Amino acid sequence: MAIVEISPDGEIASFDPETGFIEFPGGAKKFSICFDPKSELYWSIASVVSEQQQNAERPDRIRNTLTLTCSPDLRKWTVRCVLLHHDDVKHHGFQYVDWLFDGDDLIAVCRTAFDDGLGGAHNNHDANFLTFHRLRGFRKLTPSDSGPATGFGKRSR
């Protein structure tokens, strides 16, 4: 991902290629970032490509793993946990997530390609569901809270 600096008056945008590129899990696909005053961290939910999948034919199309990440400064990001995952990259996808803080929870809507008993999604991008999720106590999540293929983390209900 690239960070563009905006002048205080909002008139000038600048980019320094030496310092402007950062490693951001999921930065190759749509994501949103919000600052949480309670934790004093920036948070994001994004579709990531695992290290094993980065040499795939089209890693830009892989959307089978959705993670919760945070950062104290927008430059160094930590994956807190995997929220959704399915081993099949061709017909399963979790993408275009939009979300909000809701007290100690995080609520999210996700465009989801998944099994449906009718043949499933055409592919991982052409989703057949729009799913709602509540992530309870998201600030306390760790990698051990990562969810199974069909869940949104252990704290979701």
The band of 84, judged by pLDDT with boundaries at 50, 70 and 90, is: very high
Strands 41-47 and 129-135: unpaired
Per-residue pLDDT tens digits for 110-157:
999 999 999 999 999 999 999 999 999 999 999 988 866 545 554 444
Q: What is the pLDDT of residue 108?
A: 96
CB-based contact 144:110 (threshold 8 Å): no
More confident residue, 60 or 65: 65
Instruction: Answer yes or no: is pLDDT of 74 > 90.
Output: yes
Q: What does each C-alpha distance from 120 to 25, 104, 108, 112 come to in angstroms?
A: 27, 34, 22, 11
Q: What percent of the chain has pLDDT over 90?
A: 70
The band of 58, judged by pLDDT with boundaries at 50, 70 and 90, is: confident
Please, which residues have CB within 8 angstroms of residue 59's CB and are 6 or more apart in sequence? 28, 49, 53
